[in-house]
Amino acid sequence: MTTGSPWFRATNEPEPEPIPADPYGAPSPYQEPAPAPYPYTEQAAYQEPRQPYQDPAQAYRQEPPQAYQEEPPQAYGQPAPTYRETEQTYREPEPVYEAPRETTYDAPREDAYTPPYEPYEASEPPQASPGDTTVLEAVEPLPGPGRAERRRAAKGGGRGKSRRGGPPTTTAGAPTGEPPAAPLSRVEARRAARAAKDSVGVIASRAVGELFITFGVVMLLFVTYQLWWTNILAGQETDRAKEQIEDTWAKGDADKDDSKPGAFEPGEGFAIMYIPKLDVVVPVAEGINKAKVLDKGMVGHYAEGKLKTAMPSDKQGNFAVAGHRNTHGEPFRYINRLQPGDPIVVETRNAYYTYEMASILPQTAPSNVSVIDPVPKGSGFTKPGRFITLTTCTPEFTSTYRMIVWGKLVEERPRSEGKPKALVG
């Protein structure tokens, strides 16, 4: 006979046999049941009943459709919303506090960065950087320099370098950004003072440099004086000379007649020369002295010794004059631009003498005095006449050679008849 649930116990399991009775009469309450005659005696494990498989998609399809609900109409004047906006409020994440971590080392690392030493005043307490949790210890102020070091610093005046020629130091003698060095002994201080002095070569090179600078400044001033200031001074001198000549003519002094030989002293003005093409108006003085005539901006007449030439009023001869081409008024600077036929007018006390440019000699030696002969060589004139010769230095700003310009008299007009056509036109 089988009992129990069909899923809890097998149907073919027999019932346990009854406990045999005690041979002495009473049954033992502690007697264990006899083992089952079958090898499988353990109770079967509980198992959930298997459920039939159901497809999730099929279950979704079996959901009943939801009824459509129409939204109520909006009031007039307000457009019906087509969508609903979901308001989302942005919230910043709350900061997470992390405690600073301290790293300790048993021994200093060789590759660790060591910041430069920065001394601070004793009255200034050490400051901690923001966020630094390290406890700062009180640091005692560095000891000040000794007496000898203070004396050396006072003598040096805080020049910015140490006596030993090391890195820059402060006024107190301690190098900037470094701990103070040990004070020097007296012998070391003397050696350092001797080493700090400039050597003879440095002093000599400095003196030579200053000498060259001074020389350059002097040369610059001299060139400025020659090219600019001498022209200003010469202009003032020529203005005074013309006024003096015109005053002499106005007085009518008969002793100053240019037709008489030796009527004028060296350096005395007696005529005025006009070169209309070059816009030149310059007084003519007796002689060719450089300091008394030429450097004052005037034109000098060859009238001394072997270089004596004729006067404009002479009936025959060569009226030769000289003038500067550069500096000191430079009246003959552009005579190389004259062309044949250009007028050259000389005004004297009694008349105007008009010459026409005939020829030019661009370059000749200073010793060639034949260019001022009564019939000058190289001028193209073959017989005596009344000529004029202009001489000046060439090339410009030098006196190596001479430039010669010749002209021939074409008109003699008394001053009482007025100016000639060359000046009026």
328 is catalytic: no
What angle do helix axes 147-156 and 186-196 make, rounded to 10 degrees? Answer: 10
The first and second tokens of residue 80, run together, are: 């019906």
301 is catalytic: no
Q: Within 6-158, where are the H helices?
A: 56-61, 147-156
Strands 299-301 and 317-322: antiparallel
The first and second tokens of residue 147, run together, are: 């007496």
SS3 422: helix
Q: Tokens 């309450």 map to which residue?
A: 29
Annotated active-site residue in 152, 324, 325, 328: 324
| Exposed / middle / buried, residue 122 (Cβ in 10 Å: 0-12, 13-18, 19+) | exposed
SS3 271: strand
Contact 33, 19 (CB under 8 A): yes
Q: Tokens 């002689």 map to which residue?
A: 287
Contact 334, 403 (CB under 8 A): no
Q: What residues pair up with 390 in beta bridges, in sequence order?
A: 321, 405
The first and second tokens of residue 316, run together, are: 């025959």
d(CA 27, CA 14): 23
d(CA 25, CA 23): 5
Annotated active-site residue in 325, 349, 386, 393: 393
The first and second tokens of residue 286, run together, are: 């007796």
Active site residues: 324, 393, 402
